[in-house]
Amino acid sequence: MFASMTDAKNAGALSGVRVVDLSRVLGGPYATQVLGDHGADVLKIEPPQGDETREWGPPFRDDAGKPGKDPRGPSAYYLNINRNKRGLALDLTKEAARAIVFRLLEGADVLVENFKIGTLERWGMGWDVLSARFPRLVHCRISGFGAEGPLGGMPGYDAVVQTMTGLSSVTGSPASGPVKMGTPVVDIASGLNAVIGILLALREREKTGKGQFIEVALYDVGLSLLHPHSANWMWGNKLPQLVGNAHPNVAPYDLFATATRPIFLGVGNDGQFRKACKVLKRAELADDPRFSSMAGRNTNRAALTAILAPIFAAVDGVAVATELLEAGVPAGPLNNVAEALDDPQTQARAMRVETEGYKGMGSPIKMSGTPPALHRTPPDFGEHNREVLRAAGYSDAEIDALKKAGAVV
């Protein structure tokens, strides 16, 4: 069993890496939380109105709205993607606030931001300026569509990009029609791609001594997630159909109703199909020429489903899923969110973190030598203003003046 994030004893694989995080909403904050989980020192800088996800509720933290607590929530949404960060609130429309960021970047390794393209350039903080002033800096920008093309610079949200990149067109059933995925998969995948790009750039910097600019566009990420439908189109010139829970290239690979709970059967090869048929007491199906190969099962999937459906309808879903797994066949019951989070497997994999009044999901990146850890709970709005500015060399009198001027919120 892997240790909980609260039990980790070391500083993390990214200890010593300093990150200035100017991003908001999901893609950027998710990326910087991953970096923070693994030891990076992440400074989250928010605008005067705060990260808008602070208000994306209910639910909110239990003490929200009480005297002395953060008036902007925070929401459960915010809390789940902003741990392991210190919080600073600045009004970057003011030159004095931008001067603070420049001072913070003097000791930083990474800048992450998702401003509308052109905003930093208008403030005199574009990559041309940053790369000249901080040659070792890795600057990662997350945007909707990138800077190029007819949509360059346009705003983009997850569901919009899912729709535009074809992801919604392959999700759903003939009865439902196209639907967006139930989780913000494009935003989260963009955050993960940002982490990959940052780590690649830091590795390259070890060789050259120079940082570089990284751009992760939600649109690009959405297209990259189209596998296998993009490959099927490019090689077969055939548009995918809405098949519900089924797979366009694999059969049987679908959700089946049982006498109790629905289960998903995922057969990826002929050997697994033979094992599944044995568990289901229909071993002869594996030798049926219609079903003995993956190509045959795909061609004859309607006939195969017609045979399997009544078999599953007569058995206990959880029991047969367990029997299939034990036989080496991928299968599992349909869980709701509560059932998934309470599952013993979730506990065994340390995928829930609860401590110091904080609740969140554990890190899926398990490392034997430098495991992820919870160093800080998500910051309240501007919680570390004075601490961060003092560390950057500002006196208390200077901090008070910056607050009075509105540069520090």
The β-bridge relationship of strands 358-361 and 352-355 is antiparallel
Active site residue 187: yes
Residues 6 or more apart whose CB falls under 8 angstroms from that of 301 comprise 246, 251, 252
Tally Cβ neighbours within 10 Å of residue 151. 14
> Hey, which residues does 19 pair with through a beta bridge?
42, 110
Q: What are phi and psi of 164, to 5 degrees?
A: -75, -30
Catalytic residue among 70, 109, 158, 187: 187
Torsion of CA 166, 172, 178, 180, to 10 degrees: -70
Tell me which residue of 130, 112, 94 sits closest to 45, measured CA to CA. 112
Residue 65 to residue 393: CA distance in whole angstroms: 33
Residues 6 or more apart whose CB falls under 8 angstroms from that of 134 comprise 105, 106, 108, 211
CA angle in degrees (0–180, nearest 5) for 219-220-226? 95
Taking residue 4's Cβ as centre, other Cβ atoms within 10 Å add up to 19
Active site members:
187
